[in-house]
Amino acid sequence: MRASPGPAGPSPVAPGRDAVRGEHWWPVASAVASAGLLHVALPATYRANPVWVVPAVMFTLLVALVVGDPGRIDRRKVWLRVVTETVIAFITASNLYAGIHLVSDILTNNKLFADNATGLLATGGVTWVTNVIAFALWYWDLDRGGAAARAHRPARAPAFVFPEMQYPAHVSADWVPRFADYLSLSFWTATAFSPTDVSAIRPWAKLLMMVEAATSLIVATLVIARAINILQ
């Protein structure tokens, strides 16, 4: 006599369409566009001139990325990674240029903000926010080989462990971090000078977070101290 089959176990969860297809472009495109507009908002001595150069380069490279990988980010092409990292490096370099000039002016008592604490705080704020965006893009691009690689291999060894990975019961089985998650990581690293609820488990990730925290600390401390000194 044949034994009756036992109760069926839980069916394996198939990857969702979002995980297979990848994430949308608009959060990343919005971040790149914001970085370009923030650079334009800087005083003339802190930005590349003519004023349209940085936004034009960022926009051109961004269009090339979207045209080369339309829809969602899921095409694993070497040239797409190169262009992506060129965009991020360009944002980083332009903001580094502004940050170095800002710190130099503060330390040498430059007259640009001698009696303008509001202008100093605004310029420092623009530099700080752009720094958060730049590092968020680096985290997003480098973790697990980038967004396209994560779309095809969500289980690939990560560089960052997010809370959702530690509490899988509260998220879908195919959850992978998106740009918003890396933006949050970058913001809290720059604000709290620590990874807060996200753990970096790769050496390069730890070093990159150290660089961001140190940069944020230097800019924030000098700008706020100089502004207080002006107001007194």
Split at pLDDT 50, 70, 90, the class of 171 is confident
Q: Residue 59: pLDDT above 90?
A: yes
Tell me what pLDDT residue 187 has: 96
Q: Residue 202: pLDDT above 80?
A: yes
Q: Please name the residues in contact with 71: beta carbons below 8 A apart, sequence gap of 6 or more.
A: 21
Question: Tokens 């060129």 belong to which residue?
Answer: 86
Tell me what pLDDT residue 218 has: 93
Split at pLDDT 50, 70, 90, the class of 50 is confident
**What mean pLDDT is predicted for residues 185-194?**
90
Tell me what pLDDT residue 211 has: 95
- The values of phi and psi at residue 222, to 5°, are -65, -45
Question: Could you read off the pLDDT of 1-35 as tens digits, one per residue?
Answer: 444 444 444 434 344 444 457 899 999 999 999 99
Element (H, E) at 53: helix 53-68
Question: Could you read off the pLDDT of 61-83 as tens digits, one per residue?
Answer: 999 999 999 989 999 999 999 99
Tell me what pLDDT residue 20 has: 52
Contact 52, 104 (CB under 8 A): no
Alpha-carbon distances of 4 from 9, 10, 34, rounded to whole Å? 15, 18, 63
Q: Residue 160: pLDDT above 50?
A: yes
